Amino acid sequence: MNSKTLACQIRKDCLEMAYLSKGSHIACALSIADIVAVLYSDILKFNPEDPKDDKRDRFILSKGHAGSAVYSALARSGFFDPEILKTHYANGSILSGHVSHKTVPGIEISTGALGHGVSIGAGMAYALKLNNKENRVFVIVGDGECDEGSVWEMALFSAQHHLNNFTIIIDKNRFQALGKCQDILKNENLKEKFELFGFKAMEIDGHSHDEIRKSLKVTSKDKPICIVANTVKGKGVSFMENDLKWHYKNPDEEQYKYALREVESEYDQ
């Protein structure tokens, strides 16, 4: 599936999951749909027949509350039956609200407590380098999540150990759970900050597949890489875009059908 088709499918799957489960975080998943689609279509090396294949790249969703986007990408990439997506958040389902490696093939590590996924990713990248492996490690982290002190410890560690096999993508949608990032804790100039911490950093449009693809292919001789991706929370559904309540709220039937029509008319090829 090409990245545009996958991004559309991810948006449709996420809407269906939020509607059926009455679960949270639909806007958080929609903001990363394009990044996740390009990763799974064009960048990550993986083998759905053997999710623990040694040759695989590692991908971690540090903002684990947006798990529905990754569950969709995994199902559409052959890791499990897409019908299982309909059980998201239900009692007994393998698909918990926040991503879990215990039950879902293709998930490297459970996340949800913000600030940990990036540090685990740095540890994985360090271990791969020590063992002279070529695999790359990619982590998506929220801009609100960058308020966590552990994110900056990860930055120091990654630069110190020249983790050039390690790429973090900051989903800069300018919102967190309870407000705008700038009103909760000002943490601006993320590209410049990561540069000062020793990363090769760049800023892109996080919904342009060309820019996402190009930035994910960037390498460095001796530095970890930081991509600050400017995104829109709720991207693709007009009434969810930049409206904080869709961090937690789920769509009713009418809203679901309207949202689906919008996504299909905007993104279906």
Ligand X SMILES: Cc1ncc(C[n+]2csc(CCOP(=O)(O)OP(=O)(O)O)c2C)c(N)n1
| Smaller CB separation from ligand X, 68 or 215 | 68
As measured in angstroms, the least distance from the Cβ of 171 to ligand X is 5
As measured in angstroms, the least distance from the Cβ of 29 to ligand X is 8
- Cα 40 from Cα 2, distance rounded (Å): 9
DSSP code, position 100: -
Residue number of the CB atom closest to ligand X = 142
Residue bearing tokens 């294949």 = 53
CB contact burial 217-250 (16+ within 10 A = b; e otherwise)? eeeeeebbbbbbbbbbbbbbbeebbeebebbebb
- Cα 234 from Cα 216, distance rounded (Å): 23
As measured in angstroms, the least distance from the Cβ of 44 to ligand X is 21
Q: Tell me the three state secondary structure of residue 170.
A: strand
| Smaller CB separation from ligand X, 39 or 128 | 39
Residue bearing tokens 């949608």 = 173
As measured in angstroms, the least distance from the Cβ of 78 to ligand X is 27
| Smaller CB separation from ligand X, 121 or 144 | 144
| Smaller CB separation from ligand X, 34 or 143 | 143
44-52 LR contacts (CB < 8 Å, sep 24+): 44/138, 45/135, 46/77, 46/106, 48/74, 48/77, 48/78, 48/79, 48/105, 48/106, 49/78, 51/79, 51/105, 51/106
Task: Provide the binding-site residues for ligand X, judged by CB under 6 A.
Answer: 28, 31, 63, 65-66, 112-115, 142-145, 171, 173, 175-177
| Smaller CB separation from ligand X, 117 or 198 | 117
As measured in angstroms, the least distance from the Cβ of 50 to ligand X is 31
| Smaller CB separation from ligand X, 2 or 182 | 182
As measured in angstroms, the least distance from the Cβ of 246 to ligand X is 10
